[in-house]
Copies of this chain bind each other. A is one copy, B any other.
Amino acid sequence: MKLTDISSDINEWFSGKGPLSDIVISSRIRLARNLADRKFVSHCSDQEKTEILDILKPVITSLDLGDNLFYFSVADAPEIERHFLVERNLISRHHAFGKGPRGACIASKESFSAMINEEDHLRIQVIKSGLQLADCAKQINHIDDLIEQKVDYAFSSRLGYLTACPTNLGTGIRVSVMLHLPALKMANQTEKFLNAARDMNLAIRGLFGEGTDAAGDFYQLSNQVSLGISEEQIVSTFENKIIPEIVDYEIAARRYLLSENSDNLDDRISRATAVLKNARLISSHEALHLLSHLRLGINMHETLGASTPAIEQLCNLKDNTAAAEKISVRTINRLFMLTLPAHLQLNYGKPLDPTHRDALRAQIIRTALSQ
């Protein structure tokens, strides 16, 4: 597989097909594991890292998951490809720009990926569209069992799985849910949600890139500690309590905007549509911001039956990159992903400076949305 085989479309978890996927973009579970009787990665020489790779690579690439698996030597990959894998949420920024022998293994549908020699010897993740944490847990536990049949993990009967960072100790699990919360933002209620998440000791990040401050109103919520809590507890609390509550907040904010502040809502959606259809230069940050308004508009039309003038106009647009189908959440999700810097450059075939990226990004969006 070449990365350009997957770079021209969105991946499975961004397809918008899963439960509650108008608000819950995706569910992800990641496990951190280390081999028994070996130093943690940060203490390994390159030789020792190579030995770890030599043990884990054949085990991972030969897993029978019903999907083709591809191995990438992250250490040898061009910078643009490493950026791309980060944008795709297949590897971490730390892994992409770290040092020494390290690799990644990716399922062709991208619902599974593994990092070898990131912070831990092995990190594996399963991502699915919408709220499907129990399914993610079932699948990743199965994969974890398959791997454990072939290698010895570092495990303590008192502490559980041993990990490089104490926050991962125990189950080694990190549960993350990516949410799209544009109405909370527009209704100035984000603070309420952020405070509630902090009270529950959850970590909050943006979806696209670090330090982007939830660009596009995407928030990634995850547990911060795994020691002393069972995997089932964490997954169940997220799936049955925390996330449904936040979804309810967002829906309430959408209803509020529609009933109490529809002029403002309509102004935002109308402007966003107009600018995206007409800009000739657009930064990644602004594109995410404006596409978020379009995603909100289409979702409000589909799930709440909203039909303000701006939403009506938006929903009558055609997606000209898909044989003039009516514009859909899928169109917008696709634009979110394809206009990220590394996606742009990988699909263009060579590196571009920021101004040329801004011009190409604007052109791709104009083409998709032009009537």
Interface residues of A (CB under 8 A from B): 263-264, 266-267, 270-271, 273-275, 277-281, 309-310, 355, 359, 362
Complexed CA–CA distance, A271 and B276 (Å): 9
Contact in complex: B280, A270 (CB < 8 Å): yes
Contact in complex: A270, B278 (CB < 8 Å): yes
Name the distance in Å between A174's Cβ and chain B's nearest Cβ: 41
Complexed CA–CA distance, A270 and B277 (Å): 10
Looking at the complex, which one of B263, B277, B281 makes contact with A359 (CB distance below 8 Å)?
A: B263
Looking at the complex, which one of B267, B273, B278 makes contact with A271 (CB distance below 8 Å)?
A: B278
Complexed CA–CA distance, A362 and B264 (Å): 12
Residues of B close to A263: CB separation below 8 A: 280-281, 355, 359
Interface of A (DSSP majority class): helix
Contact in complex: B359, A280 (CB < 8 Å): no
Residues of B close to A279: CB separation below 8 A: 267, 270-271, 274
Complexed CA–CA distance, A274 and B274 (Å): 5
Residues of B close to A274: CB separation below 8 A: 274-275, 277-279
Looking at the complex, which one of B270, B271, B281, B310 makes contact with A264 (CB distance below 8 Å)?
A: B281
Residues of B close to A277: CB separation below 8 A: 274
The 4 A-B pairs of least Cβ separation, nearest first, read: A274-B278, A274-B274, A267-B280, A267-B281
Complexed CA–CA distance, A275 and B275 (Å): 7
Complexed CA–CA distance, A267 and B358 (Å): 11
Name the distance in Å between A158's Cβ and chain B's nearest Cβ: 62
Name the distance in Å between A308's Cβ and chain B's nearest Cβ: 9
Residues of B close to A281: CB separation below 8 A: 263-264, 267
Name the distance in Å between A187's Cβ and chain B's nearest Cβ: 16
Name the distance in Å between A307's Cβ and chain B's nearest Cβ: 15
Residues of B close to A362: CB separation below 8 A: 267
Contact in complex: A280, B310 (CB < 8 Å): yes
Contact in complex: B264, A273 (CB < 8 Å): no
Among A278, A281, A355, the most chain B Cβ lie within 10 Å of the Cβ of A278
Complexed CA–CA distance, A267 and B310 (Å): 22
Q: Can you name 8 A-B residue pairings with CB atoms under 8 Å?
A: A263-B280, A263-B281, A263-B359, A267-B280, A270-B278, A270-B280, A275-B275, A278-B310
Looking at the complex, which one of B264, B273, B280, B359 makes contact with A278 (CB distance below 8 Å)?
A: B273
Complexed CA–CA distance, A355 and B267 (Å): 12
For A265, the closest partner residue in chain B by CB is B280
- Contacts A263-B355, A266-B280, A270-B280 known; list 7 others, CB within 8 Å: A267-B362, A270-B279, A271-B278, A271-B279, A274-B274, A274-B277, A278-B310
Residues of B close to A280: CB separation below 8 A: 263, 266-267, 270, 309-310
Complexed CA–CA distance, A362 and B270 (Å): 12
Residues of B close to A355: CB separation below 8 A: 263
For A272, the closest partner residue in chain B by CB is B278
Complexed CA–CA distance, A278 and B293 (Å): 14
Name the distance in Å between A263's Cβ and chain B's nearest Cβ: 6
Residues of B close to A310: CB separation below 8 A: 278, 280
Complexed CA–CA distance, A362 and B310 (Å): 14
Complexed CA–CA distance, A359 and B309 (Å): 14
Residues of B close to A264: CB separation below 8 A: 281
Name the distance in Å between A203's Cβ and chain B's nearest Cβ: 36
Among A267, A309, A310, A362, the most chain B Cβ lie within 10 Å of the Cβ of A267
